[in-house]
Amino acid sequence: MMRGIWTRETVALMLVAAAVPVAAAWIWEEGVTSLTRLLLTALIGGFWQAIFTIGRAQPPSVTGGISALAIAMLAPEAGPYQFALGVSFGFIFGELVYGGWGRSVLNPALVAIMFIAFSFPTAAWPQVPVQVGWAVVPAALLLLGLGIIQWRVMLGAVGVLIFLGGFGLDLLTSATVFVLIFLVCDPATSASTRWSRWAYGLLFGALVGLFASLWDASSVQIAISAALLAMLTAPLLDELSIALWRVTVRYRHG
Amino acid sequence: MPEIVITAEAGIVLEPEMKFRADAIVTVGDKVAQGQPILRDRRRPECVVTAPMTGHIAELEIGPGRRLTNLILYREDREDRHTYEVEASRKAVSDGSDSSSPRHLLQEAGLWMRLRARPFGSVPHPDSRPAALFIMAVDTQPLAPDPRGPLVGEMQEWFKLGLDALALIGSPHIYMCQDRGSDIIADERVKTIKIANLHPMGLAGFQIRHHFPARLDRQVWDVSLEDVCAIGYLLTTGHLPATRLISVADPGMRKTRLVCCQPGADLREISQAYMAPGQHSILSGSVLDGRDSRWLGYRHRQASVIKRPQRTRHVHWLEAALKRASRPMPVIATAALEHALGGMFGGMALLRALSVGDDEEAIKLDALSLLEEDLALADYVTDAEPRFATQLRTALNRIEVNT
Give per-residue pLDDT as tens, A98-108.
989 999 999 99
Query: How many separate domains does chain B show?
Result: 3
User: Do B334 and A6 count as a contact with CB atoms less than 8 A apart?
Assistant: yes
A2 touches chain B (CB under 8 A): yes
How far is CA B191 from each of CA B232, B233, B318, B333, rounded to the nearest angstrom?
A: 20, 23, 58, 34
Residues contacting residue A185 through CB under 8 Å, at least 6 positions apart: A143, A149, A150, A153, A154
Boundaries of every domain in chain A: 8-253
Q: Which one of B189, B219, B237 terminates a domain?
A: B237
Which of these, A178, A225, A181, lies nearest to A201 by C-alpha position? Answer: A181
Among A residues 131-190, those touching chain B with beta carbons less than 8 Å apart: 146-148, 150, 187-188, 190
Q: How far apart are CA A52 and CA B321, in angstroms?
A: 12
Domain that holds residue B173: 87-237
User: Do A187 and B332 count as a contact with CB atoms less than 8 A apart?
Assistant: yes
Give per-residue pLDDT as tens, B257-278.
899 999 999 999 998 888 888 8
One domain, residues B66 and B101 = no
pLDDT of residue B324: 65
- pLDDT at A57 > cutoff 90: no
One domain, residues B107 and B53 = no
pLDDT of residue B325: 61
Q: How far apart are CA B162 and CA B231, in angstroms?
A: 5
Q: Residues in chain B whose beta carbon is closer than 8 A to a beta carbon of chain A?
A: 212-213, 283, 287-290, 306, 321-327, 329-338, 345-346, 348-349, 364-366, 380-383
One domain, residues B231 and B354 = no
Among A residues 18-47, those touching chain B with beta carbons less than 8 Å apart: none
Strand, coil or helix: B299: coil
CB A144 within 8 Å of CB A201 = no
What's the length of chain A? 254
Nearest chain A residue to B306 by CA: give it. A1
Residue B143 region by backbone torsions, left for phi larger than 0, else alpha for psi between -120 and 50, else beta: left
A102 touches chain B (CB under 8 A): yes
pTM value is: 0.92
- Stretch A29-38: mean pLDDT: 93
Mean pLDDT for chain A overall: 93
pLDDT of residue B257: 87
Asked if the structure places residue B249 within a domain, the reply is no
- pLDDT at A1 > cutoff 70: no
Residues of chain B with pLDDT under 70: 311-312, 321-326
Chain A residues with CB inside 8 Å of B346's CB? Answer: 192-193, 241-242, 245
Residue with the larger pLDDT of the pair B256 and A220: A220
Q: How far apart are CA A87 and CA A80, in angstroms?
A: 10
Asked if the structure places residue B81 within a domain, the reply is no
DSSP 8-class letter at B185: -
- Stretch A225-233: mean pLDDT: 96
pLDDT of residue B49: 92
Q: How far apart are CA B71 and CA A202, in angstroms?
A: 61
Asked if the structure places residue B308 within a domain, the reply is no
A97 touches chain B (CB under 8 A): no
Question: Rounded to the nearest 5°, which phi and psi values hold at B257?
Answer: -115, 135
Give per-residue pLDDT as tens, B45-92.
888 999 999 999 999 999 888 999 999 999 998 888 999 998 888 888
pLDDT of residue B326: 63
One domain, residues B141 and B54 = no
One domain, residues B31 and B93 = no
Beta-strand pair B55-62/B68-75: antiparallel
Tell me the DSSP string of A165-214.
TTSSSTT--HHHHHIIIIIIT-TTTS--SHHHHHHHHHHHHHHHHHHHHH
User: CB count, 10 Å around CB of B262?
Assistant: 24
Asked if the structure places residue B313 within a domain, the reply is no
Q: How far apart are CA A24 and CA B49, in angstroms?
A: 67
- For residue B59, give the CATH number of its domain: 2.40.50
pLDDT of residue B199: 87
Asked if the structure places residue B397 within a domain, the reply is yes
CB B85 within 8 Å of CB B104 = no
- Stretch A72-93: mean pLDDT: 95
